[in-house]
Each structure stands twice: as C-alpha cells, then as structure tokens.
Structure 1
C-alpha cells in the first residue's frame, strides 16, 4: 500500500512539473512573439531611423585645457575658450585663477606677486573685454 501511495504521489508531482514547464514554455513563446512584433532588428533600420536612435556623448568634445602657474584649467565651450585664448597671458591668468579655480584677488596677487588692486582692476577690464568679444561673436546672454 505504501509503495502504491508513493508511486501515485510521484506521478502527481511529475504531472504537476510537466504542466508548469508547458505553461512556462507558452509564456516564453508569447513573450518572444510580442518582442518580434514590437522590436525591429538594427540591420533593418534605415539611415534616418538609426540617426534618431543615436546619442552622442559630449565628454571632452568642446573642452580646452589652459595651464596657469602649472595648474591645468579646463574650459568648456569653444567660443569661451577662443575668447580666453586671445587674451594676453597676464589677463588670461587672472580670469582663469579667479573664475575657474575660485581664487580671491588676494590669493591671485600673492601667487602672481602683483598688488591686489592691480588684480582687481585687471579682472574687471578683462571681463569687459571678454563680454565685448563674445557679443561680437554672436553669443546671447541668458535672461535673468
């Protein structure tokens, strides 16, 4: 009696496992069919469709590195980098140290061995020159 009961339980378990596997196989087939309907292989896309799906990383695309007193300073933006590059070295150093490295006029004056008032005046004059250059090149300032 015990053997037949164990056999019956094994048969029931086997039938249960078979049913679960068949149902899972059906689910997988439905999922694959759904994907085939919704997805399109990349080799079947037209050039314009491929272009719409493309993304371009902007890492380092418009970054320019200036060196000030042995320190690298990264400036992002071609127009801004061009404007800074056209400045004389002394003015360029003041702008880069002040706005890109966050140094105060006092710190810059100590680093460059120049009077603080000279640094302040040089920074203000250079900012005006940069603003004029950028406006001449067509840069539009964002509204405040």
Structure 2
C-alpha cells in the first residue's frame, strides 16, 4: 500500500511540474509576442529624427517672458527683450515700416502704396531701421553683460 501512495505522490508532483512548465512556456510565448509587437509599433525617442521629435513635443510660452508693442495699427508680441527695447527706440515711421515689412510680410512696394511713399524711401527706412536696431541691440547687449 505504501508503494502506491508514494507512486501517487510522485505522479501528482510530476503532473504539477508539467503544468507549471506549460504555464511558464505560455507566459514566455505571450511575453515574446508582446516584445515583438512593441518592436514593430514603438520607436525610441533617440531614434526619432529632429522633425519627428518636435512634432511630439510642446513648448510652454508665458506672457511674462514676452513683450508687447502696440499702437493704433499694430499689436505685436516679441519674445526677445533686447529686440523689444531696440524697436521702442525707433521713430514711428521707422517702426511702421519694420512692422509692415517683417511682422505683416508686406513688400516694399505694398508698404509704399499703403503709406503714400516712394518705394526707394521705404527701402531706405527699412535699411536704416535695421542698422539702428543692430546698433541699439549691441549697446543694450553690451550694457547687460558688464
């Protein structure tokens, strides 16, 4: 009798071991299937191109970091403090030409028609304004880095 009870225990243990091994094999197959799916459908951030990466990202913009220049015609948001200060130093006519040219994207001819000026005058205003902006920004920049 003792032999059969020992035989039954051994048989039950073998059956249990077999079931455990089958369960682990099934888990292994499921895990490998999951890894294969992830490999086909997921991409690491380091493998993305810069354009793809920037499509997925966002940049917070805070109004405290922006400067608003406004008058009767324009309401412009400028992110660079140095540029905003430099634009403030321009005369109204020069500001108008810069705003129309760079913020509205108008050509010199279109600006001339709008402001009743000669196109060469608009070009001259724009050129001198850019020179003034450059000089002013260099001065402000130099003062800020002392």
TM-score by length of 1: 0.52
Structure number with bigger Rg: 2
Is 1:83 matched with 2:86? yes
- Residue of structure 1 in register with 2:137 after alignment: 134
C-alpha change, 1:68 and 1:121, in structure 2 (3 Å) is: farther
Deviation at 1:77, TM superposition (A): 1.3
- Give the secondary-structure state (helix, strand or coil) at the position aligned to 2:69: strand
Q: Which runs of 4+ in 1 moved over 3 A?
A: none
Higher helix share: 2
- Give the secondary-structure state (helix, strand or coil) at the position aligned to 1:138: helix
C-alpha distance in structure 2 between counterparts of 1:111 and 1:92, whole Å: 14
Deviation at 1:105, TM superposition (A): 0.5
- Residue of structure 2 in register with 1:103 after alignment: 106
C-alpha distance in structure 1 between counterparts of 2:118 and 2:80, whole Å: 31
Structure 2 unaligned segments of length 5 or more: list them: 1-59
Q: Is the 8 A contact 1:64 1:75 kept in 2?
A: yes
- Residue of structure 2 in register with 1:124 after alignment: 127
**Aligned residue pairs, count:** 84
TM-score by length of 2: 0.51
